[in-house]
């Protein structure tokens, strides 16, 4: 190798060394690793917050009476179907029934009474799954029910979030021409 080719080769090595990434000399190696780990933690934390917000905002829970037709004497014998139309599972589902006005034969009334359903709960509902719940255990009077106006309140938690959400849906009974009583949802959700 000639002297000129050695000089040329050394200059090329210097240029490559200058372009190659190296750790900064003023930051110790351990400190650099901690910064990388903190940056990774921020990214993972941001993804976790985004998933949590997504699951909280986009959980869709509905409750409707099964087939809307009920027994003539007690509309609470009709099972109600709860559905999870969201993208993530919901769990720890509990029910409360608030009677706005229940009228029995003989003009007996139950107004603004809350019926807690301590033993009626659903442990988990996956996306696009449904389950039924019956209220006949909480309200089963001997006299026939003439009319009822209730709110069904559902408390549940969304997967990955430990915040309890509350959903309320109002229902009223309507007498049909056949003499049947049917539950119809109230158009606007009312506050309990």
Asked whether the beta carbons of 101 and 147 are under 8 A apart, the reply is yes
Q: What is the pTM of this model?
A: 0.64
| Sequence ranges of the domains in the chain | 3-57, 61-185
Q: Is 22 buried (19+), middle (13-18) or exposed (0-12) by CB count in 10 A?
A: exposed
**In this prediction, what percent of the chain has a pLDDT beyond 70?**
74
Among 71, 73, 67, smallest CA distance to 132 is for: 67
Classify domain 61-185 by CATH number.
Answer: 2.60.40
* Phi-psi sector, 156: left (phi>0), alpha (psi -120 to 50), beta: beta
Quick: pLDDT tens for 140-162: 777 788 888 988 888 998 877 77
Measured CA to CA, the distance from residue 124 to residue 90 in angstroms comes to 6
How confident is residue 167, by pLDDT bands cut at 50, 70 and 90?
confident
Q: What is the mean pLDDT of residues 71-96?
A: 84
Quick: pLDDT tens for 36-52: 888 888 888 888 887 77
Q: What's the pLDDT at 25?
A: 56
Number of H helices, E strands in the chain: 2, 10
Mean pLDDT value across the chain: 77
How confident is residue 82, by pLDDT bands cut at 50, 70 and 90?
very high
The strand pairing partners of 183, in sequence order, are: 173
């Amino acid at each position: 190798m000639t002297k000129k080719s050695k000089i040329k080769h050394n200059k090329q090595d210097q240029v490559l060394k200058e372009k190659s990434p190296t750790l900064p000399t003023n930051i110790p190696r351990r400190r650099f690793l901690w910064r990388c780990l903190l940056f990774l933690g921020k990214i993972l934390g941001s993804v976790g917050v985004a998933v949590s917000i997504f699951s909280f905002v986009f959980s869709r829970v509905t409750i409707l009476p099964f087939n809307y037709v009920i027994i003539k004497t007690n509309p609470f014998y009709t099972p109600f179907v709860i559905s999870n139309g969201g993208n993530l599972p919901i769990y720890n589902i509990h029910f409360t029934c608030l009677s706005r006005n229940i009228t029995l034969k003989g003009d007996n009334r139950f107004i603004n009474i809350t019926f807690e359903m301590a033993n009626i709960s659903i442990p988990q509902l996956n996306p696009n799954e449904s389950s039924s719940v019956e209220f006949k255990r909480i309200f089963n009077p001997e006299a026939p029910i003439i009319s009822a106006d209730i709110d069904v309140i559902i408390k549940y938690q969304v997967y990955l979030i430990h915040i309890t959400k509350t959903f309320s849906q109002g229902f009223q009974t309507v007498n049909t021409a056949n003499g049947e009583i049917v539950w119809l949802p109230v158009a606007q959700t009312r506050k309990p």
